[in-house]
């Protein structure tokens, strides 16, 4: 990244108790909200900022992805998600996130060849799977397997070497579908399928998941196209929980494979990427349209931990543009497969009722990316437990691109948040025989 963003403006902070005032520089981005630079606040005032959940905190400067939650805008390197989903391919989006722009023909051929020829994994990794129970949750397996990649690729762990950063990024983007497919095959007790270099990224993934050594596998072009679109829609999303986890892990100079493994761990949570699995489980629990009012009531009840999964978003307060694209794709996939999933009708009725209910409207809780994705993935033949793994496959390029951007900053510093301490103040040690 270049020099510090220019400061054209300042905020004055006044301590009403002491009358002291402090000028804080305002930094402007290329679009979106400006930021108040508080890096020197503690040195100047002896105070920290306080923002649990980081609702008003920018953790970094980035050029990858921009979201306008009020307008439902999502763009990668300036390209709208609608345009990318309509006209681009996942590997093109990977190139744009990694290198800053969509590739020209030569760049695309070179990038695609690099990724294709890194899809195989070290044969020894096959034995790793045998240590897991067959019924282990696929995300548990992925956390372990991806973290273990750093035990294999000693030649690309030096984060200060640009070539090693690039090869690690290519290895992760190329191998994550292979590992995800192996995780699925291990879970269902079928043999691993080796990647095929004659298939596209999405076709290869479907082949490795659903192909069998006993017979030829014919990729359904509609499913391959839908898979590629799903990957594009989940590729990156600013500083969400899992991306922030990857950045914080990377700020300690940990190797990229373990950083991506930490992102997978964070994504697993049902409040984050685990929501796509939770949406299907919720729809199955609701079962019938007549039960919707009871679940809406529960979602509003503060004493009930139940939340309407697939609804709400920290940033989108209008609509999640990815949900709109996925809903359209859902109809196409179900029609092509001749599948009529009653859960789709149930989901649409749930959305209709929720969006007429003031509780959801007043809190700007709209369907997010996870609300429809599970229905498509189910129709494609994936078990619910694999949904978040697919999210991780897609998001790996976002994580590694954000990691690469951070490492390439001239001012890389370890992330070290502070706190508001409200625990016991200093007190003497009490010997056991004196304790109550
Ligand atoms: C992803 O950050 C990203 O970009 C994430 C993501 C990405 O691409 O990386 O977009 C992917 O994680 C999408 C979100 C998937 N999660 C879910 O669908 C789980 C259900 N949603 C909620 O858990 C929640 O909406 C969050 C976690 C998504 C957002 O939580 P926030 O921003 O912290 O909001 P909040 O919990 O402060 O809620 C504000 C109010 C509260 O009510 P009040 O205290 O004001 O009365 O809205 C209520 C909440 O109780 N609320 C919900 C609700 N979500 C929020 N009530 C019922 N159902 C819900 N789903």
pLDDT band at 318 (very low <50, low <70, confident <90, very high): confident
Q: Compute, in angstroms, the gap from residue 329 CA to the centroid of ligand 1.
A: 24
Mean pLDDT to the nearest integer, 171-190: 98
Place of tokens 């609509």: 319
Q: Is the dihedral of CA 395, 396, 402, 406 positive or negative?
A: positive
User: Are the CB atoms for 379 and 333 separated by under 8 Å?
Assistant: yes
Q: What's the pLDDT score for residue 7?
A: 61
Q: What's the pLDDT score for residue 1?
A: 44
Q: Which of 313, 320, 361 to mutate to test the pocket of ligand 1 (most atoms within 8 A of CB)?
A: 313
Q: Compute, in angstroms, the gap from residue 144 CA to the centroid of ligand 1.
A: 28
> CA–CA distance from 5 to each of 24, 26, 41, 271, 417 (Å)?
14, 9, 18, 33, 22
Ordered strands of the 65-68 beta sheet: 65-68, 73-76, 79-80
Q: What's the pLDDT score for residue 340?
A: 81
pLDDT band at 270 (very low <50, low <70, confident <90, very high): very high
Each residue's pLDDT tens digit, 321-366: 999 999 888 888 889 888 888 888 899 999 999 889 999 999 999 9
**Atom number of ligand 1 nearest to Cα 234:** 8
Mean pLDDT to the nearest integer, 246-267: 98
Q: What does the alpha-carbon distance between residue 162 and residue 156 come to, in Å, rounded to a whole number?
A: 10
| Secondary structure of 362-373 as H, E, C letters | HCCCCECHHHHH
Nearest in space to 95 (alpha carbons), one of 120, 82, 76, 122: 76
Q: Which residues line ligand 1 (CB under 6 A)?
A: 53, 237, 240, 271-273, 275, 299, 307-315, 363, 365, 368-370
Looking at the DSSP assignment, which residues form a beta bridge with residue 10?
A: 25
What share of the chain has pLDDT > 90, as a percent?
A: 92
Each residue's pLDDT tens digit, 93-111: 999 999 999 999 999 999 9
DSSP state of 13: E
Mean pLDDT to the nearest integer, 241-248: 98
Q: What does the alpha-carbon distance between residue 154 and residue 161 come to, in Å, rounded to a whole number?
A: 13
Tell me the backbone φ, ψ of residue 49, rounded to 5 degrees. -85, 165
* Token couple for 183: 């995780």
| Mean pLDDT computed over every residue of the chain | 95
Place of tokens 């510093």: 413
User: Are the CB atoms for 343 and 375 separated by under 8 Å?
Assistant: yes
* Greatest CA separation for the chain: 79
- Residue whose CA lies nearest to ligand 1 atom number 42: 363
pLDDT band at 369 (very low <50, low <70, confident <90, very high): very high
> CA–CA distance from 27 to each of 36, 160, 409 (Å)?
6, 28, 17
Q: What's the pLDDT score for residue 339?
A: 81
Q: What does the alpha-carbon distance between residue 246 and residue 248 come to, in Å, rounded to a whole number?
A: 6
Q: How many CB atoms lie within 10 A of CB 219?
A: 19
If residue 116 lies in a helix (H) or strand (E), which one and from where to where? helix 105-116
**Atom number of ligand 1 nearest to Cα 310:** 18
DSSP state of 124: T
Q: Average the pLDDT over each of 80-89, 136-145, 312-321, 418-427 and give the range with the smallest value.
A: 312-321
3-state SS class at 233 = helix
Task: Supply the residues annotated as catalytic.
Answer: 313, 370
Question: Is a pLDDT exceeding 90 seen at residue 388?
Answer: yes
- Residue whose CA lies nearest to ligand 1 atom number 1: 272
Q: Compute, in angstroms, the gap from residue 417 CA to the centroid of ligand 1.
A: 23
Each residue's pLDDT tens digit, 1-58: 445 565 679 999 999 999 999 999 999 999 999 999 999 999 999 999 999 999 999 9
User: Are the CB atoms for 169 and 405 separated by under 8 Å?
Assistant: no
Q: What does the alpha-carbon distance between residue 74 and residue 76 come to, in Å, rounded to a whole number?
A: 7
Q: Average the pLDDT over each of 73-82, 231-240, 281-290, 338-347 and give the range with the smallest value.
A: 338-347
């Amino acid at each position: 990244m270049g020099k510090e963003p220019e400061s054209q403006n300042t905020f004055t902070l006044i301590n009403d108790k002491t009358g002291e005032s402090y000028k804080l520089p305002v930094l402007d981005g290329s679009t979106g909200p400006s930021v108040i630079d508080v890096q020197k606040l503690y040195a100047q005032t002896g105070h920290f900022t306080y923002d649990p959940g980081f609702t008003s905190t920018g953790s970094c400067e980035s050029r990858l992805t921009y979201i306008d939650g009020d307008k439902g805008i999502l763009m990668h390197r300036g390209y709208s998600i609608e345009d990318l989903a309509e006209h681009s391919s996942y590997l093109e989006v990977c190139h744009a996130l990694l290198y800053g722009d969509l590739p020209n023909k030569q760049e695309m051929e070179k990038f695609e060849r690099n990724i294709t020829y890194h899809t195989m994994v070290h044969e020894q990794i096959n034995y790793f799977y045998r240590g897991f129970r067959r019924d282990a949750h696929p995300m548990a397996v992925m956390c372990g397997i991806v973290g273990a990649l750093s035990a294999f690729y000693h030649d690309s762990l030096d984060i200060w070497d640009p070539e090693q950063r690039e090869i690690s990024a290519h290895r992760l983007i190329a191998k994550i579908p292979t590992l995800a497919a192996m995780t699925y095959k291990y879970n269902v007790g079928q043999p691993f399928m080796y990647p095929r270099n004659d298939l596209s990224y999405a076709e290869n993934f479907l082949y490795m998941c659903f192909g069998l050594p006993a017979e030829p596998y014919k990729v359904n072009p509609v499913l391959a196209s839908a898979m590629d679109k799903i990957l594009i829609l989940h590729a990156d999303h600013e500083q969400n929980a899992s991306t922030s986890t990857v950045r914080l892990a990377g700020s300690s100079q940990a190797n990229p494979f373990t950083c991506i493994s930490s992102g997978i761990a964070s994504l697993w949570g049902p409040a984050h990427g685990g929501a796509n699995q939770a949406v299907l489980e919720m729809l199955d629990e609701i079962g019938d349209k007549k039960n919707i009012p009871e679940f809406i009531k529960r979602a509003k009840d503060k004493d009930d931990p139940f939340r309407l999964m697939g609804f709400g978003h920290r940033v989108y307060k209008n609509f999640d543009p990815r949900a709109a694209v996925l809903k359209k794709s859902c109809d196409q996939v179900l029609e092509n497969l001749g599948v009529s999933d009653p859960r789709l009708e149930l989901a649409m009725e749930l959305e209709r009722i929720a969006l007429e209910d003031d509780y959801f409207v007043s809190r700007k809780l709209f369907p997010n990316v996870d609300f429809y994705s599970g229905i498509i993935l189910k129709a494609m033949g994936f078990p619910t437990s694999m949904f978040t793994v697919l999210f991780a496959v897609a998001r790996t390029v976002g994580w590694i691109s954000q990691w690469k951007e951070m490492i390439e900053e001239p001012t890389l510093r370890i992330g070290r948040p502070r706190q508001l301490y409200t625990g016991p103040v200093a007190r003497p040690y009490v010997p056991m025989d004196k304790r109550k």
